[in-house]
Amino acid sequence: MSQHSGLILVILPLMLFPQSGNPAPLGTAIDAPERLQMLVREATCAEASATSSAKLDGTSLSDVLSSSTGARTIFYVSPEGKDSWSGLLPSANPQGGDGPFASIERARDAAREKGGTNTIALGRGDYYLTQPIVFDSRDAGLILTARCNETPILHGGLRVSNWSQQTDGRWAAALKLPPDEGVGDLFVNGVRQTRARFPNAPADGDPRKGWLFAAKCEPAVDMSEGNTRFCFHTGDLPAVDDPSGLVVDIVGGFQPGSQWGNDTLPVVSIDGAGRTVHTNGTGYFFTAEGSRYFLTGAKALLDAPGEWWYDPAAGQVQYIPVDQSFPNSVVAAGVLPTFFKLDGANGMIVSGLELRDGAPEGSGKFYTETRGFGAIRIEHADGVKILGNSIENVGVGVHVTESKDALIAGNVIADVAGNGIYVGTNYGTFLKSNGARILSNHIHDIGKVYIETAGIWFQAADNVTIADNLIENTAQFGISGGSLWGSNDAVYNAVIEHNVIHNANQQTADGGAIKMMGEQGDPLNSTIRSNLVTGTGHLMNRADGTFWPPGYENTSEWPSPISWAIYTDGKASGVRIEGNTLSGNVAAIGINGGWSNLVTGNVITDGSGAAFRVDDGTGRGWRPPWARPNRIEENVVSVDSDSGPVAYVNAPDHGPGYAQFARNRYSGNLNNKSFRIAPKIMRSGEFGSLGDLQKAGADTGSVVVPSE
């Protein structure tokens, strides 16, 4: 169990919100994720009896095995097996003439030949995969799992051995790959190493270090050029004779000055005289003066312990070890973004496996579908269950596309380049992934390469339930859902409840722990309730390369950091945000552009920004006939900062009809500037006290109580 898990299990039972009138519901403790993972593995391992599902009784996963029992033929796989054997024995017989298969593909084919309901059981040991293993409609109902009390470890690439030390202190090893394929990541004893880069990665891991900052271009780059080029300061870039293979990782956003994502862009050329880097970029994503970046992928940049570089022409990996123990280390080259592809394999179960050391592709905007890939990728396969697995050091953990009733439960997903879990659709077809359940997973350290990502990202997924997950340390979002493309990928009747999210939005200037989108502009009928959110932050630099301080919020300036614990965006309407505990975040709850949202029964403490921030920016001038005011009622707010407003409403087109406050309880540092409302409906002007807000008719029955 992580350090945070024990704290969470203590805090959650105490989430009782003591206000009169309509108290919020009592929160319940989530199960410790690693304990659940162990129980799921015990209940789903190959030799487990049908009664083993009783181990999950009384937990949040008590019903996950409702359709997984029944007599099955077991085909065994082991690193010591042979594909010429029958696969019906878990280990070699005394005569050495029969035993388990050596490969999952052979076991899959044997199960297809037999027909009926079958299980593939993997024994302990390391499996190095060189290509994705594909399951299709012939594999419907197949269980792919571990033998009981054994842990099979699947690596998304090749083991690299026979290293030799070079005269310059580097080590080198031969690694031949197919044409046009490269090494996505290098892992030493299971730890991701650093692709050769400039500036070097900071030894202390400080995200504010290790960057260059783009210069102002003269003449300015037109917005239509996106990030196809940017300018650099004299003396910033190292000498690189050959830019082939060079990539720039650069931060930007939807418009110059914003910093809510990054791109990994191949460098086309570097114009030293014009101080310009030309990239194979896009017109969607913009960079500008101050955009932070670093370079990677060139041999000339290989100069620090822990860095590596792959020479595709020579078929060789070069590496600078961290310490003298390297010759005895296990080194894996991650080349696969996808380990298993389930395409049409309805009802298949994958459980109890460890997947690690894959390629990091999967969330950039160049040559990838922005939420793509996935160590386990499910396409057009209904009723699939992903249970009790450990997925680490991959591009995307689990990706579900246009597949109904997926269950993803009891997994641990960590150190992922992009999204932890994605449930959604393909651009262009827009078929839905309705009925997904994402339950009791531990998801942490997400967005290690691509920062515009989430622990759980969902779209085109009606009736999705996301509950009892522990999500920690994400680059942008803990949970993010809803439409990016309007009605094509809209989400309705989502329930996000009883999750614990700690330290979201650690790498971007615009994000938060839980976000619900509604670009299509109609009621979502969705609920965000009884979640615990702490430590939501931000990271944003100014044009001169200095960074805004942690927890900074100023509603009067742009660009500047924006960060919420929970918020709706893109005209999201009809969302109920109820009974959440939000502590130690920047802004607590935000509504951007939508109508008919209800914020009630939440407890907000220790924030550095506004408790409530309501802005009609994405829906300016838009008021559909069904619209009702956004209501903020019966919340308990402890105001710990006197430097900003408790509530900020910016709705110049809608006036007091856009947001109504009622029966909230405030304590702490309130003053005559605690509420900021535009248009200026209060007699004191744009800023005023709670009394001024009530006299203007925008609040009913809220009180300021003495601090306890």
pLDDT higher than 50, residue 21? no
Q: Angle at the Cα of 513 (from 501 to 575), degrees rounded to 5?
A: 110
| DSSP per residue, 54-71 | GGGTTSTTTTTTTT--S-
Distance CA 657, CA 651 (A): 9
363-398 as b/e, with b when 16 or more CB fall inside 10 Å?
bbbbebebbbbbbbbbbbbbbbbbbbbbbbbbbbbb
Type of residue found at 603:
V
Distance CA 665, CA 636 (A): 5
Paired strand residues for 541: 547
Distance CA 590, CA 161 (A): 52
* Beta carbons of 551 and 516 less than 8 angstroms apart: no
* Beta carbons of 350 and 377 less than 8 angstroms apart: no
pLDDT digits (tens, 9 = 90+) for 216-275: 998 888 888 888 999 999 999 998 888 888 999 999 987 778 899 998 899 999 999 999
pLDDT higher than 90, residue 17? no
Q: Please give the pLDDT value at position 70.
A: 58
Q: How confident is the model at residue 49 (pLDDT cuts 50, 70, 90)?
A: confident
Output the six-digit token pair for 704.
């300021």
Output the six-digit token pair for 582.
């939000």
Distance CA 397, CA 450 (A): 13
Contacts of 7 (CB under 8 A, 6+ apart): none
Q: How confident is the model at residue 184 (pLDDT cuts 50, 70, 90)?
A: very high
Distance CA 511, CA 19 (A): 30
Output the six-digit token pair for 460.
């085109």
Q: How confident is the model at residue 54 (pLDDT cuts 50, 70, 90)?
A: confident
Task: Extract the runs of DSSP E, i.e. beta strands, from 162-260.
Answer: 164-165, 171-174, 185-188, 191-192, 194-195, 197-198, 212-213, 229-231, 247-252
Q: How confident is the model at residue 66 (pLDDT cuts 50, 70, 90)?
A: low
Contacts of 440 (CB under 8 A, 6+ apart): 30, 31, 33, 36, 59, 60, 61, 409, 410, 467, 468, 469
pLDDT digits (tens, 9 = 90+) for 243-260: 888 999 999 987 778 899
First-to-last alpha carbon distance for the chain, in angstroms, is 33
3-state secondary structure (DSSP) of residue 3: helix
> Residue range 107-123: average pLDDT?
96
Distance CA 678, CA 5 (A): 42
Q: Residue for token digits 């083993």?
A: 52
pLDDT digits (tens, 9 = 90+) for 433-469: 999 999 999 999 999 999 999 999 999 999 999 999 9
Contacts of 272 (CB under 8 A, 6+ apart): none
Tell me which of 3-12, 54-63, 353-362 is least confident. 3-12
pLDDT digits (tens, 9 = 90+) for 279-332: 988 777 888 899 999 999 999 999 999 999 999 999 999 999 999 899 999 999
Q: Which of 10-14, 188-192, 222-226 has the highest mean pLDDT?
A: 188-192
Q: Please give the pLDDT value at position 413.
A: 98
pLDDT higher than 50, residue 27? no
pLDDT higher than 60, residue 509? yes
Contacts of 683 (CB under 8 A, 6+ apart): 692, 695, 696
Distance CA 69, CA 625 (A): 51
Q: How confident is the model at residue 362 (pLDDT cuts 50, 70, 90)?
A: low
Q: Please give the pLDDT value at position 334.
A: 96
> Residue range 627-651: average pLDDT?
91
For all residues of the chain together, what is the average pLDDT?
90
> Residue range 335-364: average pLDDT?
92
43 Rama sector, left if φ>0, alpha if ψ -120 to 50, beta otherwise:
alpha
Distance CA 450, CA 264 (A): 8
Tell me which of 23-27, 336-340, 550-554, 668-672 is least confident. 23-27
Q: How confident is the model at residue 13 (pLDDT cuts 50, 70, 90)?
A: very low
> Residue range 9-27: average pLDDT?
34
Residue percentage of the chain with pLDDT more than 90: 76
* Residue closest to 299 by CA, chosen among 251, 250, 358, 238: 238
Q: Please give the pLDDT value at position 31.
A: 72
Q: Angle at the Cα of 426 (from 425 to 430), degrees rounded to 5?
A: 65
> Residue range 25-40: average pLDDT?
68
Predicted TM-score (pTM) of the model is 0.94
Q: Please give the pLDDT value at position 1.
A: 35
Output the six-digit token pair for 604.
């907000």
* Residue closest to 686 by CA, chosen among 657, 658, 648: 648
Residue percentage of the chain with pLDDT more than 70: 93
